[in-house]
Amino acid sequence: MIFHSFLIKYGEIGIKGKNRYLFEDALVSQLTFSLKPVEGEFEITKEQGRIYVNAKGEYDYDEAMEAMTRVFGVVGVCPMVQVEDQGFEQLSKDVLAYLEQVYPDKNKTFKVNSRRARKNFPLDSQEINMELGGIILDAYPEMKVDVHQPDIMLNIEIRNMINIYSIILPGPGGMPVGTNGKAMLLLSGGIDSPVAGYMIAKRGVQIDAVYFHAPPYTSERAKQKVIDLAKIVARYSGPIHLKIVNFTDIQLYIYDQCPHEELTIIMRRYMMKIAEHFAGEDRCLGLITGESIGQVASQTMQSLAATNEVCTMPVYRPLIGFDKNEIIAVSEKIGTYETSIQPFEDCCTIFVAKHPVTKPNLNIIKKSETKLQEKIDELMKTAIETTETIVVEA
């Protein structure tokens, strides 16, 4: 493998001053985290407003590329050859050696794009482009220059070292996790909520999660499925503190006391309340759900308003305007789909009424909830106290 260093390209042009350092530092720690399980030893350095990853010795190229291009904030990863400055003649030899190895098929167009960041190099960038272009054409007559849409954009950067690169693998963009606070994801075993968590994490938000489990109506395998999903999301977001709430008694109590067609809405309101409690404890700045307008009865505008009403924290619903097929496309891309479609029961589906209300009236819902007065506080307290927290890592 000729590549032992990588240039990390990152975007979000608006990030300046102090925030720029925070952004870069978070990016370095996320890259470190992502590369940790990869075979090999990596050193990450910040230099003149750029981030480099250097592999020391042998390493797994494909795994390393996959790990780096998964980090939020990364716009592109360029595998480079870094050489010492030993004059132009040596540089031209290095460039030919680079082309020889990286492009066995020379039937390609190219453009030399050089940048002289260190001004004591004897040739300026225009001269480097011209000279190197000529040397390449002499060495490989099959190659042709195309300054508009070259197959190979050969970048030569004269810095302390000289960087030679022409490959760029796209990253996800977004912002590195840790630059935008923390939020609590309501994570179920479905397709939507893992995608919602991914999307908010992509904006730099650290994720904690809460899952409402209803044994024996929902099995250990349903719980394991949620843990597996959290594990996949954690590949992108970093470790997730997952809270597993035993929701059975609350659910049964609502089932006993309230009209069945209102069950889902009332249950969702209690889920939000408990999630908000934990969010406050964990210093989260918001909740995240996988809701999308009109997807099911509990996600009509009226139902969302009724669910939202119990929260004072902002509730982020990144999928709100997505169609199901668009959500599925993201879940396939991030690798949660196969796990999400495993057929385990979900605590919301077990008690659902045949004809749930689709336009709940908040006053009526609140009136039904008064029937829970006797025991609900105690049940909520017990649910909170018996919640198990596990740290899920990729």
Interacting residues toward Mg ion by CB under 5 A:
188, 190, 346
Give me the least distance between CB of 377 and ligand ATP, in Å please: 21
What secondary structure letter does DSSP report for 87? -
CB of 188 or CB of 299, closer to Mg ion: 188
Query: Of ligand ATP, Mg ion, none, which one does residue 262 interact with (CB within 5 to 8 Å by kind)?
Result: none
Is 299 a known ligand-binding residue? yes
Structure tokens at 291: 């809701």
290 is in an annotated binding site: yes
Please tell me whether the peptide bond between 216 and the residue prior to it is cis, using omega within 30 degrees of 0.
Answer: yes
Tell which one of 206, 237, 298, 387 touches ligand ATP (CB under 6 A): 298
195-234 binders of ligand ATP (CB under 6 A): 210-212
Residue pair 191/336 in contact (Cβ under 8 Å)? The answer is yes
Asked whether 61 and 3 are in contact (CB, 8 A), the reply is yes
268 is in an annotated binding site: yes
- Which residues touch 10 (CB under 8 Å, ≥6 apart)? 23, 24, 27, 51, 73, 74, 75
Taken in order 172, 173, 174, 177, the sign of the CA dihedral is positive
Q: Which of residues 323-382 bind ligand ATP (CB under 6 A)?
A: 347-348
Give the whole-angstrom CA distance, residue 53 versus residue 322: 36
Question: With contacts defined by CB under 6 A, how many residues of the chain interact with ligand ATP?
Answer: 19
Q: Is 61 labelled a binding residue? A: no
Which of 99, 186, 201, 207 contacts ligand ATP by CB under 6 A?
186
* 72 labeled binding residue: no
Alpha carbon distances (Å) from 192 to 70, 211, 233, 290: 20, 14, 12, 5
27 vs 240 by CB, closer to ligand ATP: 240
Residue of this chain nearest to ligand ATP (CB atom): 190
Least distance (Å) from Mg ion to the CB of residue 243? 17
Shortest reach from residue 290's CB to Mg ion, in Å: 7
Contacts of residue 127, defined as CB under 8 A and 6 or more positions apart, other chains included, come to none
Binding residues for ATP, as ranges, are: 186-187, 211-212, 268, 290, 299
| Positions in the binding site for ligand ATP (CB under 6 A) | 186-188, 190-193, 210-212, 289-291, 295-296, 298-299, 347-348
